[in-house]
Amino acid sequence: MSTETRDSCMDGKPPLCVVITGPSAAGKSTLAAAIQEHAREPLLRFGVDELYRMVPGQWAGGVANARFAERGFTYQDVPSMPGARRIDNGVDAVAMLLAMNAGIVGILGAGVGVIVDGQAFEPVVNTDLEGRLQDLRARGLARVAFIELSVTDEPLADRQRRHAHPVGLSRHQNSLPKQATKPDLVVETSGMPAAEVASFVCRWLEEEYLEA
């Protein structure tokens, strides 16, 4: 059923989509969980970590001797940043990332909200999702909030050391262009505990989106 003919599962309101961007270890997953707990409507969580768990091992980064690694996801050293690494997205990886975008739009089309817990640092994929969501927003078919978590290198490095993801990704990602071209909210989290970030963002969402 199309987005044009299906109501949201919450009182006929358009479904909510919250896109959280920022480098690895910036606090996206912690914030996503807090928003899910705070909201009075169901928000499914879908982002790159969820996608990576779906990827077949032969296309996955970090899998030894993966036959199709070059077409999938691979970790690569960053020569200009000793100790830093990046994720390279091959042709099949980009197709999978674009499929994730289609999945996000499909969930919204079913009238259910989504928290996008992180995107890949792949401009064509991020532009695709932003365009799709801005179109839904313009047509009144979804409430969309782009939230960017910003953090300076030193506290980010400390968080990365305690993070489950491979060391080195956050440093390189923090040097790249931001993923959303026009975020609705930018939160500088360097000196803020996770609970304070969550409280601030949830109050903002309450005022701007949850009561809309």
Q: Return the SS3 of 94.
A: helix
Residue 34 falls within a domain, yes or no?
Answer: yes
Q: Any idea how long the chain is?
A: 212
Residue 177 falls within a domain, yes or no?
Answer: yes
Residue 94 falls within a domain, yes or no?
Answer: no
* Residue 158 pLDDT: 75
> Whole domain around residue 168: which residue ranges?
16-47+111-210
Reading across the β-sheet that carries 143-150, which strands appear in turn?
43-46, 113-117, 16-21, 143-150, 185-188
Q: Kindly report the pTM of this predicted structure.
A: 0.89
Residue 124 falls within a domain, yes or no?
Answer: yes
What DSSP state is assigned to residue 100?
H
Burial 74-103 (b: 16+ CB within 10 A, else e): beeeeeeeeebbbbebbebbbebbeebbee
Q: Tens of pLDDT along the chain (212 residues)? A: 344 434 445 667 899 999 999 998 889 999 999 999 999 999 999 999 999 999 999 999 888 899 999 999 999 999 998 888 999 999 999 999 999 999 999 999 999 999 999 999 999 999 999 999 999 999 999 999 999 999 888 777 777 777 665 567 888 888 888 999 999 999 999 989 999 999 999 999 999 887 64
Residue 84 falls within a domain, yes or no?
Answer: no
* Residue 5 pLDDT: 38
* Residue 154 pLDDT: 79
Q: Which residues pair with 86 in a beta bridge?
A: 76
Quote the number of domains for the chain: 1
Residue 77 falls within a domain, yes or no?
Answer: no
Residue 159 falls within a domain, yes or no?
Answer: yes
What are the residues whose beta carbons fall under 8 Å from the beta carbon of 177, sequence distance 6 or more? 123
Residue 3 falls within a domain, yes or no?
Answer: no
* Residue 167 pLDDT: 61
- Beta carbons of 43 and 36 less than 8 angstroms apart: yes
CATH number at residue 130: 3.40.50.300
Q: Which residues pair with 149 in a beta bridge?
A: 187
